[in-house]
C-alpha cells in the first residue's frame, strides 16, 4: 500500500508577505472515491469586533488545537507550505484527524492572520472537523504553542461560501491585530469534492 500524498488546493500567488491570491479556497477536501458523510451547512453570522484584550504574542509555532464546541483536541499540528507549483498543501488523507498550519502565515497569536486548515471529511470518511456544525460565534479556539503558552481565540464570524466565491482578501489580507482563520469544507459533494468552504474568523482574547 502506497503512502498517501498531500492533497492540494488551487494555485496561489503571493500578493504580499502575509496575503495570498487564492482562487477558490480549499478545493480538494473530499477526493474520489467518496465515503458517505453528511452534507454540512453552517449559518453565516457575525459579531462586532471586540476591543483588543491582549497584545500580540511573540512568534511560536502551534502544537495543539482545541475546540471544545466541536470536540476537537488535536496534536501535533502539521506544517503546511507551498510546493514548486505554488500550490498550498492540506493535511494528507491518512492524517485527517490533525489540523495544519500554513507556514506562510504568522504563528497563532502574532500580529496578523494565522491560517489553520483541517478536513471535514476525506475519502476515508468523517475527519477532524466532523462536528463543525456545532461551532458558532462566541466559541473559543485554543492553540497550544511550542513555547508552552496557549493562545485563546474567540470566534467573531462564521461564513460558508461556494468555492467559486472564496473571499480571498478577507481571509488572507493584512490585519493589524492578532487573528485566526480556520478553514474547512462543507456543502454537498459535487464532482467528488465538497462544494463550499467554511471559514471561522477569530480574535485573540487571552494568552495562558
pTM of the model: 0.86
| Residue 183, beta-bridge partner list | 117, 199
**Residue 40 covered by a domain:** no
**Residue 105 covered by a domain:** yes
Are 58 and 110 in contact by the 8 Å Cβ rule? The answer is yes
**Residue 39 covered by a domain:** no
**Residue 41 covered by a domain:** no
Give one DSSP letter per residue of 22-70, joined into a string.
ESSS---SSPSSPPP--------EE-PPPP--SPPPPP--EEEEEEGGG
Q: All 3 cell numbers of residue 186? A: 462543507
- Strand stretches in the chain, DSSP E: 8-14, 20-22, 45-46, 62-67, 72-74, 78-80, 87-89, 100-102, 112-117, 121-122, 125-126, 140-145, 150-162, 178-190, 193-207
**Residue 37 covered by a domain:** no
CATH at 111: 2.40.260.10
What domain range includes position 152?
Answer: 8-32+57-207
- The one-digit pLDDT tens for each residue of the chain (208 residues) are 333 334 444 333 333 333 343 444 565 565 555 556 788 899 899 999 888 778 899 999 999 999 999 999 999 999 998 766 565 678 999 999 999 999 989 999 999 999 999 999 998 889 999 999 999 999 999 999 999 999 999 999 999 999 889 898 899 889 999 999 999 999 988 887 888 999 999 999 999 9
Which SS3 state, helix, strand or coil, does residue 182 take?
Answer: strand
Structural domain count of the chain:
1
Q: All 3 cell numbers of residue 15? A: 500578493
Instruction: Please give the pLDDT value at position 168.
Output: 83
When computed from its CA atoms, the radius of gyration of the chain, rounded to whole angstroms, is 16
**Residue 2 covered by a domain:** no
Tell me the C-alpha to C-alpha distance, in Å, between residue 188 and each of 33, 42, 120, 180: 15, 12, 12, 26
Amino acid at each position: 500500500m502506497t503512502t498517501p500524498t498531500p492533497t492540494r488546493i488551487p494555485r496561489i500567488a503571493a500578493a504580499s508577505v502575509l496575503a495570498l491570491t487564492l482562487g477558490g479556497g480549499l478545493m480538494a477536501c473530499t477526493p474520489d472515491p467518496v465515503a458517505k458523510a453528511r452534507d454540512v451547512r453552517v449559518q453565516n453570522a457575525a459579531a462586532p469586533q471586540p476591543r483588543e484584550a491582549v497584545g500580540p504574542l511573540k512568534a511560536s509555532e502551534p502544537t495543539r488545537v482545541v475546540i471544545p464546541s466541536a470536540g476537537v483536541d488535536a496534536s501535533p499540528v502539521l506544517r503546511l507550505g507551498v510546493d514548486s507549483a505554488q500550490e498550498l498543501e492540506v493535511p494528507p488523507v491518512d492524517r485527517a484527524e490533525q489540523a495544519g498550519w500554513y507556514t506562510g502565515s504568522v504563528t497563532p497569536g502574532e500580529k496578523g492572520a494565522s491560517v489553520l486548515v483541517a478536513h471535514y471529511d476525506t475519502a476515508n470518511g468523517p475527519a477532524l472537523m466532523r462536528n463543525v456544525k456545532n461551532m458558532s460565534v462566541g466559541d473559543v479556539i485554543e492553540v497550544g504553542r511550542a513555547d508552552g503558552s496557549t493562545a485563546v481565540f474567540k470566534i467573531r464570524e462564521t461564513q460558508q461560501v461556494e468555492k467559486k466565491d472564496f473571499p480571498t482578501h478577507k481571509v488572507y489580507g493584512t490585519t493589524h491585530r492578532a487573528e485566526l482563520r480556520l478553514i474547512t469544507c462543507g456543502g454537498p459533494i459535487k464532482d467528488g469534492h465538497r462544494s463550499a468552504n467554511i471559514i471561522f474568523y477569530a480574535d485573540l482574547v487571552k494568552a495562558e
